[in-house]
Amino acid sequence: MFPLQFICLLLLGIRCHAFLLDDDSLSNLLQLLQREKVARGLLETEIVNLRADIAQVNRRHHSSQCQCPVSKAVAFSATLTHDITNLGVSQPIIYDKVITNVGGAYDARHGSFRAPVSGTYKFSFSVLQGTSAMYIAVELVRNGSPIGRVRTGDYGYYAVGTNIVNVHLDAEDDVWVQHQDNLGSRIVKANGGGFSLFTGHLVKAD
């Protein structure tokens, strides 16, 4: 065994050679090795922290992206198949027959559409007025606030009124059609379906 004054540079990854070192040189070398060990430990800790930060950023980015169905489409159409009479103020009009419901966002039980993702949507809604002496007024609402209205009927029998609205919705916003007030007719006609309609689709997700 070599005395302490000899050191093998194999510790530094160099081919082993023996050198005669005095006590001060050996002490300095050991201090340098210790510092290198400490620096390596700090660097490894920083790497672990950086990897954790990157993973967190990736999770946030993924959660902010559109979680649309695989088809990337959200679209629905529904029509009224039976007459609704004696409508009250702000009473929802339930378009009961679903023609298409890609993405499953339209609820035929309540006649409402719930946005699955935030984005720009386009809606069209129509009603058939079927009395001979009055108009009817309905409105498209988002979470209960009007964003579009239809008023149709000119004292003639049967008249269809239609409106189209582009609107930005946040995820979970609800949109439906409701009777506006009782100043006009309180009857919406079906006439076999296809006249009174409620449709909409996602134009572009945020």
Q: pLDDT tens digits, residue range 14-47?
A: 444 444 556 677 777 788 888 888 888 888 888 8
What is the residue-averaged pLDDT of the chain? 83
Same domain, 41 and 106: no
Q: Which residues, including other chains, have CB under 8 Å from residue 128's CB and lie 6 or more apart? A: 80, 158, 159, 160, 188, 189, 190, 191, 195, 196
pLDDT digits (tens, 9 = 90+) for 44-82: 888 888 888 888 877 776 565 545 444 579 999 999 999
Same domain, 185 and 100: yes
- What pLDDT sits at residue 7? 45
Same domain, 40 and 103: no
- What pLDDT sits at residue 22? 60
Euclidean distance between CA atoms 137 and 160, whole angstroms: 11
Rounded to an integer, the average pLDDT of 77-96 is 93
Same domain, 97 and 160: yes
Same domain, 60 and 121: no
Same domain, 43 and 96: no
What's 114's domain CATH number?
Answer: 2.60.120.40
**Number of domain units in the chain:** 2
Rounded to an integer, the average pLDDT of 128-156 is 88
Same domain, 104 and 197: yes
Domain span at residue 89 reads 75-205
